[in-house]
Amino acid sequence: MTLDVETPERPALSTGVAADEYDDAEVQGDEYRREELAEALDAGAWENAFEKWAADASLDADQWAIVTDLDLIEEFDFFWDSFAGRVGYHAPGLPEDWREREIHPDIDSWGTVSGINAGLTEFGQVVCEVLADEYIDWEAEEVGADDLPDF
């Protein structure tokens, strides 16, 4: 379904957070290139990605209202993962204890919570794809065999 809403302001990328501190990201290295990514987002990647995502978004207008009420978009972070040669991201999400914390009056089911979390994850992935496909042309750093992680 199409989500017909205005494009939100892009997040201020978290320059004070090491990307490997996020539970949902595994990043090697510490050269995150957030300033360059912010420039690409400002040059149109953010708006293009939002329009692409919103054209087929899994969120409805009521769920989007919750996202905006809670300023969840501001919690997104995008960064360069030099080891993997890709743009990585941290997507915000609603906590498992949403009911106990009463974080928003319109959150009334796990379906709402999981739908919002999934939609925001999908959006983060679309932003990364748009950045990689249309705005940046960076290569992964050459890594020697001795520098590979143990699997």
| Residue 151, pLDDT score | 46
Whether residue 128 lies inside any domain: the answer is yes
* Residue 126 scores a pLDDT above 70: yes
- Cβ atoms within 10 Å, residue 128: 20
What residues make up the domain containing 33? 19-135
Number of domains composing the chain:
1
Is residue 135 pLDDT above 50, yes or no? yes
pTM of the full predicted structure? 0.84
Confirm whether 56 is domain-assigned: yes
Instruction: Give domain status of residue 14, yes or no.
Output: no
Q: Measured between alpha carbons, how far is 79 from 81 in angstroms, rounded to an integer?
A: 6
pLDDT for 33 beyond 90:
no
Q: Is residue 150 part of a domain?
A: no
Identify the pLDDT of residue 71: 96
Question: Does the residue 4 lie in any domain?
Answer: no
> Would you say residue 147 lies in a domain?
no
Query: With the C-alpha atoms ordered 20, 142, 135, 122, is the resulting torsion angle positive or negative?
Result: negative
Q: In this structure, is residue 73 part of a structural domain?
A: yes
Q: Which of 16-20, 28-32, 108-112, 138-142 is predicted most confidently?
A: 108-112
Q: Which amino acid is at 147?
A: D
Mean pLDDT of 102-127: 95
CA–CA gap between residue 11 and residue 107 (Å, rounded) = 23
Secondary structure letter of residue 43 according to DSSP: I
pLDDT given at position 128: 95
36 found inside a domain = yes
